[in-house]
Amino acid sequence: MDSRRFVRYRPEMTRDRQNELPESGLASERLQIALIRLNLKSAWRFAVVGLLQNATSYCLLLLLISLGWPAWRAVLLLSPIAMTVSFIANRNWTFQDSKKTGGQFRKYVITCALSYAGAVSFTWLQESIGVSSWLAALVTTGTAAGVSYLILNFLVFPSSQPSVHQ
């Protein structure tokens, strides 16, 4: 694979000039592009969507439990609804500058499923080495949110800004 594949198009940089960049320049350029794509605006929006979605889901969960529903049934009902609402909010607000492509919802569901499996495993691992349960849950929540953001930002909702593909 050509190492110049991820160099962002810049009108002032001609194709000849890009070919002249040393490998270290290409690595530096790729790092700059990655940092640009880790846009703080979308990270904050991701946090807001996550907090609002989780708070709303939890309130609805408590409401259903107070109406006599078993917790597992309430979770069974609310989880897919929360995931769908979160997908729509992330696609249309958090990552609003991304390309809208087919298969995004499927990728989102896969990301959520892998995040769930990873969170359970990571929490278990921490508890098995003596980390207290509350701290293990806190560390897992933060780690899962960060990893999920990176996956969504780069794979599910990639930037629509042009790049040079050679």
| Domains contained in the chain, number | 1
Show the tokens assigned to 44: 């904050």
Query: Which has more pLDDT, 20 or 140?
Result: 140
Are the C-beta atoms of residues 6 and 33 closer than 8 Å to each other? Answer: yes
Question: Is residue 163, in this structure, part of any structural domain at all?
Answer: no
pTM: 0.68
60 touches 11 (CB < 8 A): no
Residue 54 lies in a domain: yes
CA 39/CA 65 separation, integer angstroms: 39
43-50 average pLDDT score = 93
119 assigned to some structural domain = yes
24 or 91, higher pLDDT: 91
Q: Which domain holds residue 77?
A: 40-156
Is there a domain that residue 136 lies in? yes
pLDDT digits (tens, 9 = 90+) for 107-162: 999 999 998 899 989 999 999 999 998 898 889 988 999 899 999 988 899 876 64
Is 22 a member of any domain?
A: no
- Report the alpha-carbon distance of residue 86 to residue 75 in Å, rounded: 15
Average pLDDT across the chain, whole number: 80
Report yes or no on 70 lying in a domain: yes
The answer to the question of residue 25 being in a domain is: no
Q: Is the pLDDT assigned to residue 75 strictly greater than 50?
A: yes
